[in-house]
């Protein structure tokens, strides 16, 4: 591992231009679908979603409020079934609201399905999910996201918020991580 992040990228999966098209399309869709909502809340799942969330919210042209949660479920390149709540939202922030949970990527589906139930239990009027990336072939729980940026193959990806051991989040595109970086 050296300090040139680009060297660890096998190939670019989504370029900055492609990501911009995706966020524009999703923002438009979310705007259309929620025109009659009295209280729309976007929840950012830290840390991985932060870049996507910041771009997506600016493509939504109806009022919405912003909330942040942090859970941990991942170590290295392997998911775990144990989900730990590190930052929670207040009940009053989501009560009676149409909530959209914004994730970076869905793998097993454990994180989002847990969060969906959790937010519903706080009294949200509706709970939808939006993810930049989806790896449907990895799913172990029954979860279909409402908004998906792109379906991707079962590869470990980094950049645009996504990390491998906290690294590469600040790459402006989504890339496939070289196997030699984590298979050592
Ligand atoms: P799930 O609970 O198995 O669906 O895992 C979802 C979480 O795992 C995401 O929010 C990411 O933090 C992490 N994750 C899954 N796949 C990848 C990947 O390819 N690169 C980086 N993080 C990933
Ligand atoms: Mg994440």
Backbone angles phi and psi of 38, in degrees to 5 = -85, -25
Q: Point out the ligand nearest to the CA of residue 107.
A: 1
DSSP letter, residue 8 = G
Which residue has the least CA distance to atom 9 on ligand 1? Answer: 105
Cα of 5 from ligand 1 centre, angstroms? 20
Longest dimension (CA), the chain: 52
| Tens-place pLDDT, residues 112-140 | 999 999 999 999 999 999 999 999 999 99
134 is catalytic: no
Which residue has the least CA distance to atom 5 on ligand 1? Answer: 107
In angstroms, the CA 38 to CA 34 distance is 9
pLDDT higher than 70, residue 74: no
**Residue 166: which of 64, 82, 46, 80 has the closest Cα?**
46
Q: Point out the ligand nearest to the CA of residue 105.
A: 1
pLDDT higher than 90, residue 154: yes
Cα of 13 from ligand 2 centre, angstroms? 18
pLDDT higher than 80, residue 75: no
pLDDT higher than 60, residue 1: no
Amino acid 78: pLDDT: 63
Average pLDDT over residues 158-180: 97
């Amino acid at each position: 591992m050296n300090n040139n992040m680009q060297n660890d990228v096998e190939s670019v999966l989504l370029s900055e231009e492609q990501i911009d098209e995706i966020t524009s399309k999703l923002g438009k869709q979310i705007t259309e679908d929620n025109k009659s909502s009295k209280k729309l809340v976007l929840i950012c799942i830290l840390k991985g979603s932060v870049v996507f969330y910041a771009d997506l919210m600016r493509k939504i042209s109806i009022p919405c409020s912003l909330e942040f949660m942090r859970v941990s479920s991942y170590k290295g390149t392997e998911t775990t079934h144990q989900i730990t709540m590190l930052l929670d939202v207040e009940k009053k922030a989501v009560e009676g609201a149409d909530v959209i949970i914004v994730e970076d990527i869905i793998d097993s589906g454990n994180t989002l399905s847990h969060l969906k139930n959790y937010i519903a239990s706080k009294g949200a009027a509706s709970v939808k999910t939006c993810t930049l990336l989806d790896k449907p072939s990895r799913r172990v729980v029954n979860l279909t996201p409402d908004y998906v940026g792109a379906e991707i193959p079962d590869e470990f990806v980094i950049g645009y918020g996504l990390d491998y051991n906290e690294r590469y989040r600040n790459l402006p595109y989504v890339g496939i991580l070289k196997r030699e970086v984590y298979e050592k």
